[in-house]
Amino acid sequence: MTESGRGWGYVVLFSEIGVSLLVTTLIGVLVGYWVDKQLGTLPVFLIVGFLVGAGAGTLMIARLISRFLKSFDPPAP
């Protein structure tokens, strides 16, 4: 892969890292908040939702990074 191609690849990767963490955490928090409002248990499920959302986002990013890096630097034959 050319240097410029690799550079653009990193741009795509970093962009996805930020948005994925934001969206998954936000979804977790909002779902947790909604559950808390229904059950009257604020902030138990809000915290659980935050942790699950942030954890899921981290997992998503880890998988994406490992897949991207495999493309950027394929193992020598």
Partner 1 sequence: MSSEQVVTTEVAEAPVPQPRRGRGLSSRWFLIIGAVIVFNIIALIVVPPFPKEGQPGDACAFPVCFIEGTLEFPAPHVVWAPEGSTAPAADQLIVFYPSISSTIFTMWIVMAIVLIVSILLVRGSTLIPRRGQNVFEWFYEFLSDFGVGIAGPAARPYIPLFAAFFLLILFSNWSGLVPPVGRIEELRAPTSDVNITLGLALVSFTYFEFQGFRRLGVRGYLGKFFPVYEFKKGVSAGGIAMFVGLVELMLEFVKPVTLSMRLFGNIYGGEVALGVITALTIAFIPVGLLGLEVMLNAIQALIFSILTLMFIVLAIESHEHEEGHAAEEALEALHGTESAALQPAS
Other residues' Cβ atoms within 10 Å of the Cβ of residue 52 = 18
Least distance to partner 1, CB of residue 44, Å: 20
Least distance to partner 1, CB of residue 40, Å: 25
Torsion of CA 64, 66, 71, 74, to 10 degrees: -170
Classified as helix, coil or strand, 60 is: helix
Pick 4 or 38: Cβ nearer partner 1: 4
CA distance 37 to 57: 24
Residues forming contacts to partner 1 in the complex (CB under 8 A) are: 1-2, 5-6, 8-9, 11-12, 15-16, 19-20, 23-24, 27, 52, 55-56, 59-60, 63-64, 67-68, 70-72, 74-75
Pick 8 or 37: Cβ nearer partner 1: 8
